[in-house]
Amino acid sequence: MTPITKPVRRRSSTFVKDGPRKGDLVVILHPTFLTLRIAGSRREETVDYESAFFHAIKSRVFREKMTKAKERKEKQERAAATRRFLSMSKRAVKKSGLAA
């Protein structure tokens, strides 16, 4: 892989909005950090690679936690629905007099 020795500027295909400003995202890769800005804007946001990497890890872990929580909630809802159905079935059997 080629190391970054001088700033490399690229326009991404990602369209972003920041209040009244909107346009393609411009990424500038420096040897130790990266800069993001909207095309046509002078306002830049700078972040070092290590921070970006750890933020990406935290985002992934958060997404995994949310996915697991959603699956757990769905499983609990299915179990509750099953319990309600069985309870209603037992009551229906008692009312009909078919209980042993």
Residue 3 forms part of a structural domain:
no
The Cα 21–Cα 43 span in angstroms is 10
The Cα 69–Cα 14 span in angstroms is 30
User: Can you give the pTM of this predicted structure?
Assistant: 0.65
Residue 39 forms part of a structural domain:
yes
Query: What is the count of structural domains for the chain?
Result: 1
Question: Is the pLDDT assigned to residue 93 strictly greater than 80?
Answer: no
The Cα 41–Cα 62 span in angstroms is 32
pLDDT value of position 88? 84
Which residue range forms the structural domain that includes residue 63? 8-90
Mean pLDDT estimate for the chain: 92
